[in-house]
């Protein structure tokens, strides 16, 4: 910020601008009289630097004290007019004294004339006003940047809360049925009970280890789906089958974590679970131009006229909201019923992990 405490680069640029203004003032002195360039620069450049620092700090803190949105316009104009007149008058007086001091030290240094003093006073008022305008613009830019940063932080917090809500929506019946199956297998087949316990632990570890603020590769998401289906297959046995077809390069594409989990859970609960002979859950993914296209498909009961139940509707709405929050209108999700199949199609922009050099 001009005139405010900042980094060295900004300060150097600010002082360089005022040194240039001092050089222009020296040029005016040369053009107005017989003053040599050396004496004029020795007089004008230090004087401009001093005024730049003084007016810069003064106008900066006045801009902070009198924000345009919080004060009447007449009050702001009155304060800055008085400040500009006082600062310029002091600068002109200091210039006269500095000129008198230099006359005894530098050959050819003329006395300050009234026309030049009037010019210097007017220039000081204008420069003070320009400094105030620059500070107001800088403060507005800083405010807008702070607002954008807070909006981004709120968006990330909302996404994290949304992922936590999604985790709480994992069907409680899935956990209850898994624990009941483990309990039943303990006395019948301890080996399978132990295997199911390890599979449930692996699923919970994978799901709870996902960070809401980063995207995961499709391969990681598919691994989570496999862990979920491995647990369900202990209950459904051969009635539940899984097929996947991941195209070249699609597995490395990024997507929000646990995006496919509610779709696969719906497929098992509302599709496979309603069929006596079970069915197949299929996941296919491919890169098509700038889009990653994912299809989640499952066999459904032909006699069931409703394509989705209440829980299925919540899961699909959750997926749509997460895509909208992450990609705005660049992503889409559509679902439809085709005879004995229910299909969900997702399209989202292709993103991959950046390659890091070791």
Phi, psi values for residue 170, rounded to 5°: -60, 125
Of 226, 236, 223, 230, nearest to 196 (Cα)? Answer: 230
Q: What is the pLDDT of residues 291-332, one digit of tens each?
A: 999 999 999 887 665 544 444 567 788 888 888 888 888 999
Kindly state whether residues 143 and 40 are assigned to the same domain: yes
Which of residues 154, 183, 218 is at a domain's end? 154
Is the predicted pLDDT of residue 357 greater than 70, yes or no? no
What pLDDT is recorded for position 355?
A: 45
- Best-predicted range by mean pLDDT among 193-202, 335-344, 347-356? 335-344
Q: What percent of the chain has pLDDT over 90?
A: 27
If one counts the domains in the chain, the total is: 2
Domain of 64, in residue numbers = 8-154
Which of residues 154, 183, 209 is at a domain's end? 154
Kindly state whether residues 102 and 211 are assigned to the same domain: no
Which of residues 154, 180, 206 is at a domain's end? 154
Q: What is the pLDDT of residues 337-346, one digit of tens each?
A: 888 899 999 9
Both tokens of 299, joined, read: 């066999």
Q: What is the pLDDT of residues 22-81, one digit of tens each?
A: 898 888 888 877 678 888 888 889 999 999 888 888 888 898 888 887 788 888 889 999
Of 298, 310, 303, nearest to 336 (Cα)? Answer: 298
Look at residue 56 and tell me if it is in a domain.
Answer: yes
Check: pTM over 0.85? Answer yes or no. no
Kindly state whether residues 203 and 312 are assigned to the same domain: yes
Kindly state whether residues 99 and 189 are assigned to the same domain: no
Q: Which residues, other chains included, contact 279 with Cβ-Cβ below 8 Å and sequence gap of 6+?
A: 239, 240, 241, 271, 272, 298, 299, 300
Reduced to 3 states (helix: H, G, I; strand: E, B; else coil), residue 267 is: helix
Kindly state whether residues 221 and 316 are assigned to the same domain: yes
Torsion-angle region of residue 109: left (phi > 0), alpha (psi -120 to 50) or beta?
A: beta
* Helices and strands in the chain: count of H runs, count of E runs: 9, 7
What torsion, rounded to 10 degrees, do the Cα atoms 163, 166, 172, 175 define?
A: -50
Q: What is the pLDDT of residues 84-101, one digit of tens each?
A: 999 999 999 998 888 888
Q: What is the pLDDT of residues 137-187, one digit of tens each?
A: 888 888 899 899 998 888 777 777 776 666 566 556 667 877 888 888 888
Kindly state whether residues 190 and 121 are assigned to the same domain: no
Q: What is the pLDDT of residues 111-121, one digit of tens each?
A: 778 888 888 89
């Amino acid at each position: 910020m001009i005139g405010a405490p900042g980094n060295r680069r900004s300060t150097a640029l600010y002082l360089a601008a005022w040194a240039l203004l001092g050089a222009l003032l020296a040029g005016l002195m040369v053009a107005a009289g017989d003053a040599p360039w050396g004496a004029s620069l020795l007089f004008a450049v230090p004087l401009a630097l001093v005024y730049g620092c003084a007016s810069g700090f003064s106008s900066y803190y006045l801009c902070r004290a009198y924000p345009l949105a919080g004060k009447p316009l007449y009050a702001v104009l009155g304060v800055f007019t008085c400040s500009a007149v006082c600062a310029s008058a002091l600068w002109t007086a200091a210039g006269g004294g500095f000129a008198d001091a230099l006359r005894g030290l530098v050959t050819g240094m003329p006395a300050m004339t009234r026309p030049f003093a009037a010019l210097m006073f007017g220039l000081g008022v204008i420069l003070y006003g320009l400094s105030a305008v620059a500070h107001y613009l800088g403060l507005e830019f800083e405010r807008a940047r702070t607002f954008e940063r807070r909006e981004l932080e709120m968006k990330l917090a909302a996404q994290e809360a949304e992922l936590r809500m999604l985790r709480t929506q994992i069907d409680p019946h899935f956990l209850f049925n898994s624990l009941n199956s483990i309990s039943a297998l303990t006395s019948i087949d301890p080996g399978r009970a132990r295997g199911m316990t390890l599979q449930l632990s692996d699923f919970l570890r994978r799901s709870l280890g996902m960070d809401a603020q980063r995207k995961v590769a499709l391969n990681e998401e598919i691994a989570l789906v496999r862990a979920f289906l491995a647990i369900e297959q202990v209950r459904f046995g051969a009635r539940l089958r899984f097929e996947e077809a991941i195209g070249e390069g699609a597995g490395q594409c990024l997507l929000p974590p646990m995006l496919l989990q509610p779709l696969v859970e719906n497929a098992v609960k509302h599709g496979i679970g309603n069929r006596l002979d079970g069915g197949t859950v299929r996941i296919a993914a491919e890169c098509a131009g700038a889009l990653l296209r994912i299809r989640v498909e499952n066999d459904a009961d032909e006699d069931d006229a409703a394509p989705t139940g209440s829980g299925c509707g919540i899961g699909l709405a959750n997926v749509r909201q997460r895509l909208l929050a992450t990609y705005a209108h660049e992503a889409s999700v559509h679902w439809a019923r085709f005879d004995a199949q229910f299909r969900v199609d997702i399209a989202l922009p292709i993103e991959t992990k950046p390659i890091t050099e070791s």
